[in-house]
Structure 1
Amino acid sequence: MWQVLIVEDDPTTLAFFAEAVSRSDRLVLAAGVGTLAQAKTWLDDPSHKVDVLLTDLGLPDGSGLAGIRHAMARNPACEVLVISMFGDEENVLASIEAGALGYIHKDSTPDDIALTILEMKDGGSPISPMIARRVLAKYRGFREEPPAAAQPVPAAPGGRALSPREHEVLELIARGFSYADIARLKSVSVHTIKSHIKSLYGKLAVSSKSEAVYEATQMGLLRPPGRT
């Protein structure tokens, strides 16, 4: 059962998304709030558990991007979907850069909302081909820049250091890229990427993407969300 926090300032939209979450037997509505301040207060309570943050970006007291960074700093295993409108591609792209894995349109049906959340929890990244293309283009641009001086890769437990390629794959996993996306970015086969992931899972002593991101962040192998 995945715990879902919804942050949406419009009461009608909030009620609609809450009802959609409640319809699934694999999802639990943890809370629904209407402001950034309320979301931060809820997230700061150690008794609250959240697996999924479903957030609007245009909140009355600030940007939902701040809420995304706050949630992921408190719980790196939390996965984020943005509540979006058609034609909002620039904000969606900014939210993905902040750590969101995808978005749900405000005019989605209740069944589509629950399905999108569950697909994300099963390893998917619900973004349109257009948004995916823009994100991939940006990462290709980073890759094509002249390389900076080599930096040492931190070691995993027991001195088992991740290879540079494993560390690159780990960073892309943390950004929400699929195996196919990473393979395209690195110009290798999906089988090769799966081999890297299997190796880094073994070195981190984890068995899932969310565990890998959490453990790597705790060990200093990944920068905490929102920090440069």
Structure 2
Amino acid sequence: MTQPLADGPISVLVVEDDAATRRALCLGIEKEPALKLLGALDCVTSALDWLSHQPVDVLLVDLGLPDGSGVDIIRFCAHHHPACNIMVITTSSDQESVVDSIEAGASGYVLKDAGLLDIGRSLLELHTGGSPISPVIARKVLARMRDGKKTSSAVRVESAPGAAQVFLTKREATILDLIARGDSYGEVARQLVLSVGTVQTHIKNIYDKLSVHSRGAAVYEANRRGLLQMDQLKSRP
């Protein structure tokens, strides 16, 4: 085992909603002398509240949480505690989740089914400047680079005359089209193989970018800015 650092152990916050997984992660952290578990939370709300009041050296976070996406926690932590090292541990291996997490501030991304994961060793590697990434995730990132796509996956959308330009991710643009056609959040989640919480997070980001607070206002503003096609609005699946 690695011995504790001279300036004290590395503090860790865990955010994981599955009780068994959370317990296993905590046990793995507690048996590593160089790490100190500060808290183990199960949702976005409690994590944001915790991070609002104190810093942490390392954040270990799941993406699919009951009240939203772990990406929001990553983004909040990266903004308020830029020195914190962030690692994702999740079952989500889709390229969009990987890119969203990295863009938000994550430096590591490992899958829960990655065999006998030594969580203590992975967190120490992260804290010392490494980027623990499951092989399947690394392959997806390399494939994306080979395809010549920008890591941000941002698309620049031209606005209507007189309106400020809006930048949406490809996932946001897709969700915007679906809700404009009248799909419910549940239907959008099923079509895109996402959790409803993740869809709601994307929709909140869309609302923020369009400076609106409702679905109707979002559709109206998006159409005014030239983000939607009228025939798309009229043709529902």
TM over 0.5: yes
Aligned with residue 130 of structure 1, among 131, 136, 139: 139
Structure 1 residue 124, shift from structure 2 partner? 1.0
Out of 68, 80, 93, the position equivalent to 1:62 is 68
Code of the aligned partner of 2:48? K
Q: How many matched pairs?
A: 141
The aligned residue for residue 216 of structure 1 is: none
Larger Rg: 2
Deviations along 1:160-191, one digit per CA (max 9) or x if unpaired, are xxxxxxxxxxxxxxxxxxxxxxxxxxxxxxxx
Per-residue deviation, residues 179-204 of structure 1 (Å, max 9, x unmatched): xxxxxxxxxxxxxxxxxxxxxxxxxx
Match of 1:37 among 42, 45, 66: 45
Query: Superposed, which structure 2 residues align to 1:108-187 within 5 Å?
Result: 108=114, 112-127=118-133, 128=135, 129-134=138-143, 136=145, 137-139=148-150
Q: Which amino acid aligns with 1:33?
A: L
CA distance in 2, matches of 1:86, 1:105: 7
Deviation at 1:42, TM superposition (A): 0.4
SS of the equivalent of 1:95 reads helix
Per-residue CA distance 1:31-62 (angstroms, 9 max, x = gap): 000010000110011xx330111001011111
* Structure 1 Cα separation of the partners of residues 123 and 59 of structure 2: 10
The aligned residue for residue 103 of structure 1 is 109
Displacement of 1:138: 3.6
Cα distance between partner residues in 1 of 2:59 and 2:20: 18
Q: Could you tell me how far apart the structure 1 residues matched to 2:29 and 2:21 are?
A: 12
Q: Distance in 2 between matches of 1:132 and 1:51?
A: 26
Q: Residues 79-118 of structure 1: CA distance to partner in whole angstroms, max 9, x if unpaired?
A: 1100122644431232112110112221356761111111
TM score, norm. by length of structure 2: 0.54
Give the CA deviation at 1:23. Answer: 1.1
Q: Distance in 1 between matches of 2:65 and 2:52?
A: 19
C-alpha contact (below 8 Å) 2:13/2:60 kept by paired residues: yes
Whole-angstrom distance in 2 between the partners of 1:108 and 1:93: 19
Preserved contact between residue 104 and residue 113 of structure 1 (Cα < 8 Å):
no
> For the structure 1 residues 112 and 74, does the alpha-carbon distance in structure 2 shift closer, same or farther, using more than 3 Å as the test?
same
Q: Aligned residues: percent identity?
A: 40
Cα 1:19–1:122 shift into 2, 3 Å: same
Any gaps of 5 or more consecutive residues in structure 1? 143-226
TM-score norm. by structure 1 comes to 0.56
Which aligned segments of 4 or more residues in structure 1 are displaced greater than 6 angstroms?
none
Unaligned runs of 5+ in 2: 1-8, 154-208, 210-237
Q: Which residue of 1 aligns with 2:26?
A: 18
Q: Which has the higher helix share?
A: 1
Distance change >3 Å, CA 99–CA 134, structure 1 → 2: farther
- Following the alignment from structure 1 to structure 2, what is the Cα–Cα distance between the partners of residues 59 and 13? 13
Relative distance call for 1:63 and 1:122 in structure 2 (3 A) is: same
Which residue identity is paired with 1:81?
M
